[in-house]
Amino acid sequence: MSFSNLDLHSLGIADWGYTENSEPMTWDHYENWLDNDGHGPLGYLADHRKDLRKSLKNYYPEFQSALVFIFPFFDDKKRIEDFYQSTESNDLKMASYLFAYSGVDYHHAIKEKLLKVKEQLSETHPNIKMKLSLDTQPVLERDLAYRAGLGWFGKNSMFISKHWGSFFMIGSLLLDQKLDIESKQVETDHCGQCQACIIDCPTLAINENTRTIEASKCISTYTIELFKDAPAPKGMESASGEIFGCDICQDVCPWSKRVFRENLTFNKTKTLHPQEELLINFFLKRPKEEILKELDTMSNRSYQKMFRGTPVERTGRIGMIKNIKFWLEK
C-alpha cells in the first residue's frame, strides 16, 4: 500500500499509522476514570455512547483495519505565541488550535482532508468501504493512534508524538478491508520522571496517580464546555488569561518544547486567514471591558452569525461572557 500519488504534506498530515486492532488497549483505564467521575460535567463521555467505544465494531460493524493520521499545528502555535509577546496583546489567551486549520472548527477542516485521502484510497481499492472518525464519534481516538504506533499517553493524558510533540489533532479512516501495510510497534512511555505538566497545572487538574485529567478542575472544561455562568476551578486565577481552552500542560512538556527548541516547521506561513483575524481582533487585542460590553449588547443570533464555523461558536455568547468576566473580576 502506498500513498505515493497523494501529497500527504499538502493535506497537513505529518505522520500516519495502521492497525487492525478493533479494541482499545486502555479500555479499563478509561472505564475506571468514568467510574471515579473523572469526566465531571462531560456527561457525553459516560452516556449510552460509552460502551460503543469498547470496540470499533460497535461503531462500524464492518471494521477490519484503520488508517490513523496526525494533523499538526505547532507552526500556528508559534505564531500565536509571538502575538502574545507583542504589545498588541491584551493578555487574554485562547488555545492555539483555534488558529490552525484557517481558523475554522478543526472538525470541518480535518474532515475535508480525510475525504481527500478517502478518494485517493478508493482509486486503488475501488471496492473498499470506509468511515471517517474524529473525536465526535464514539471512538477512543487517542487509543486508536496508540494502537497504530504513533505515540504514547502523557501524564496529562494528552497523546504525545516523539517527533511532533502534542500540538496536533488525530483523524482516522476505518476500513472494511485489511491492507498490505506493516503496523508500527506500540510506542513506549517516554515521560520518565518528568512532572512538569502536573506541577504547572494551576488548577491541579492532573491526577498524578492515574495520569488522568479531573475534568471538573480543567480550565478547558470550564472555558469551552460550560455554556452558562458557573464557578471557575480553584487556582484558575493564577493561570495566564485563558478564555477558551488551555495549553499550559502542553507548553511545559519537554517533547512539545523540543519542537520549538529545534525550530521544527511543517507548514509555516505568516498569512492569517479571515477567521483567525476575526478571533484575534475581537478577543485578543481590545480592552476586556470593550469586549464584554459588545458581547452584553449582542444577541445570541448575532454572535452565532459572527463566529459561525469557528470553535468559539460552540461555547456561545453567554459562555464567552462568563470566561471574560472571570479575568475582569478576579
- The catalytic residue positions are 135
The helix (H) or strand (E) run that includes residue 327 is helix 312-329
Cβ count within 10 A of residue 228:
9
Beta bridge partners of 244: 94
CA 133 to chain centre: 14
Q: CB atoms < 10 A from the CB of 262, how many?
A: 8
And the C-alpha cell for 249?
500542560
**Alpha-carbon distance values, 188 to 145, 161, 162, 192 (Å):** 13, 11, 10, 10
CA distance 16 to 83: 31
Residue identified by cell 502555535 is 77
Please check whether residue 111 is in contact with residue 134, taking contact to mean a CB–CB distance below 8 angstroms. Answer: yes
Strands 159-160 and 242-244: unpaired
Contact assessment for residue 268 and residue 213, using Cβ atoms and an 8 Å cutoff: no
Q: Name the pairing type of β-strands 65-72 and 168-175.
A: antiparallel
Interstrand relation of 159-160 and 152-153 (parallel, antiparallel or unpaired): antiparallel
Q: Which residue's entry shows cell 452558562?
A: 228
Cell numbers at 161, concatenated: 508524538
Residue 76: helix, strand or coil by DSSP? helix
